[in-house]
Amino acid sequence: MQFSSEKIKANVGYFTAKLSAEKQKYSVTKWANGDPSAGDIVILDVRDRESFAQGHIKGALCVPLSELRSLMAQLPKDRELVTYCSHHY
């Protein structure tokens, strides 16, 4: 089966994004478990402050999405930033 260059580019983009997401998930899990090989990452909990106070990943920073723009200058520029949030319906 032969693939067009557009299909190849689309697949490369898809798998690049997928691998990046899996890398972050793996790194965050290692980081949360205190594994020093996790890398130098900063976990940002972008939920509201009340939700953060009720429970969060140990060591995560509370940076509510509504405040992200104003807090952005205070975030480290030399470390990988990983965000998480949760929605309950």
Q: Write the pLDDT tens digit of every residue in 34-64.
A: 888 887 889 999 999 999 999 998 889 999 9
- Is pLDDT at 89 greater than 70 in this prediction? no
Q: For position 18, which CATH number holds? A: 3.40.250
- Is pLDDT at 15 greater than 90 in this prediction? no
The range of the structural domain enclosing residue 78 comes to: 5-84
- Is pLDDT at 88 greater than 60 in this prediction? no
Q: Is position 78 within any domain?
A: yes
Q: Which of 85, 86, 87, 89 is catalytic?
A: 85
Alpha helices in the chain (DSSP H): 5-32, 49-54, 68-71
DSSP bridge pairs for 17 = none
> Is there a catalytic annotation at residue 62?
no
Q: Is position 89 within any domain?
A: no
Average pLDDT value for residue range 17-23 = 76
